[in-house]
Amino acid sequence: MKAIAPGKLILSGEHAVVYGAPALAMAIDRSAQAIVQPNDTSNVSFTLRDLGYSESFTLRALRDLRQRVGDNYRLFREGQLGIREVLLKPVDLFQYAFIMCLDGLHITLEHGLKVQLFSNIPIGCGLGSSAATVLSEMRAVGHYFRVDFRKDWHFRYSLDAENMQHGRASGVDSYISLHGGCARFQNGEARSLPLPTGPLFLVQTGLPATSTGECVVEVAKHFERTTIWEDFSAVTTDFEVALVQKDLDALQRAVRRNHRLLCRIGVVPERVQAFIGDVEQAGGAAKICGAGAVAGENAGIVMVIGKTPPLALCRQYGFEVVAVRGEPLGARIVG
């Protein structure tokens, strides 16, 4: 059984969405894929093609891992562990999601399984790679066992798994990957919006030195109880109006304001700020589209709204322009 789920791009409201402010996000034409097949042994094997990883586990070992990860998350919530210590290696997230899904749906294995996972979504750069991979895995497992796996179950289970990686996931990654298209997302509720059709370019500034979870924790230390999230909300509302009206000038103004707010909360490294300043001087607008970074020089993906891609600036900074389009479809079975 093969399933795919798209990545996501936050157009406005990253970080703020964690505190109940709205965010606008769209699915993109990059996806994660999962293939579930019977195994010759009684074990469950996981293969992550992109990481060159392959290993088999008994159900008991997977349940032990789920218990251990859950205990680590509790210690994180109590301030006794860092978020990077909840999951010790990348595959832990997908093993946790698998056994949570299997036991949550009361599925009994009569034979072993092979779970293959791969993705063309850049990892760790703010495009929702982990949520898409988890959802493709859950979609494939549910369909393999012919379970009527409702979308609200998908959302709840994938959000649980995302918390293990990000600490306090907003749910926007899971929602957009599950449903596709473009939406305004706030406090677990979403309203559909038209997919953007204007000149939108993604620039890869490099893998951030800090994870999404670490950024969220650091921002919370200084800004959780401030009013800055009201400023983010106002920018997102202006962006939404401009998006619906297809007003390029208004979109650029909203993006510039959003960028300055992200700089205020400390998630835009100086080198990326310099690049965005040069984009603005050339008549464009740009902002980070994920958690950014609270250390190092890289910030993952930067969204640029302008009439032409910033090719010369990217060459100057050593960045890469990533081609991307909106994706109307969410997580689904493809074979």
State the pLDDT at residue 299: 93
Q: Is the pLDDT of residue 198 over 80?
A: no
Answer with the one of 148, 175, 192 that is the final residue of a domain: 192
137 and 54, same structural domain?
A: yes
Residue 334 lies in a domain: no
User: What contacts 16, CB < 8 A, 6 or more positions away?
Assistant: 22, 23, 229, 232, 233, 236
State the pLDDT at residue 206: 92
181 and 164, same structural domain?
A: yes
State the pLDDT at residue 51: 80
Beta strands in the chain (DSSP E): 2-12, 23-39, 44-48, 53-57, 112-119, 182-186, 189-193, 200-204, 285-288, 301-305, 320-322, 332-333
Answer with the one of 154, 173, 192 that is the final residue of a domain: 192
Long-range contact pairs involving 251-255 (C-beta distance under 8 Å, separation at least 24): 251/198, 251/285, 251/305, 252/284, 252/285, 252/305, 252/306, 253/285, 254/12, 255/12, 255/285, 255/286, 255/287, 255/303, 255/305
> pLDDT above 90 covers what percent of the chain?
71
123 and 268, same structural domain?
A: no
Q: pLDDT tens digit string along 100-157?
A: 999 988 888 888 999 999 999 987 778 889 999 999 999 999 999 998 778 888 889 9
200 and 62, same structural domain?
A: no
39 and 153, same structural domain?
A: yes
143 and 53, same structural domain?
A: yes
Mean pLDDT to the nearest integer, 14-26: 92
Q: pLDDT tens digit string along 49-63?
A: 888 889 999 999 999
Mean pLDDT to the nearest integer, 254-275: 96
Answer with the one of 192, 226, 244 that is the final residue of a domain: 192
134 and 12, same structural domain?
A: yes
Residue 300 lies in a domain: yes
32 and 49, same structural domain?
A: yes
Q: Give the SS3 label for residue 41.
A: coil
185 and 209, same structural domain?
A: no
CA distance 221 to 144: 43
Report the CATH number that the domain containing residue 25 is assigned in CATH: 3.30.230.10
pTM above 0.85, yes or no: yes
> pLDDT above 70 covers what percent of the chain?
100
CA distance 85 to 133: 21
Query: In the chain, how many domains are there?
Result: 2
CA distance 229 to 181: 25
154 and 11, same structural domain?
A: yes
CB 207 within 8 A of CB 124: yes
Mean pLDDT to the nearest integer, 14-43: 93
Residue 114 lies in domain: 2-192
Structure confidence at residue 222 as a pLDDT band (50, 70, 90): very high
Q: Is the pLDDT of residue 323 over 80?
A: no
Mean pLDDT to the nearest integer, 218-239: 95
Mean pLDDT to the nearest integer, 267-280: 97
Q: Identify how many contiguous H helices and E strands the chain contains and give both numbers.
A: 10, 12
Report the CATH number that the domain containing residue 235 is assigned in CATH: 3.30.70.890
Mean pLDDT to the nearest integer, 62-74: 96
State the pLDDT at residue 63: 96
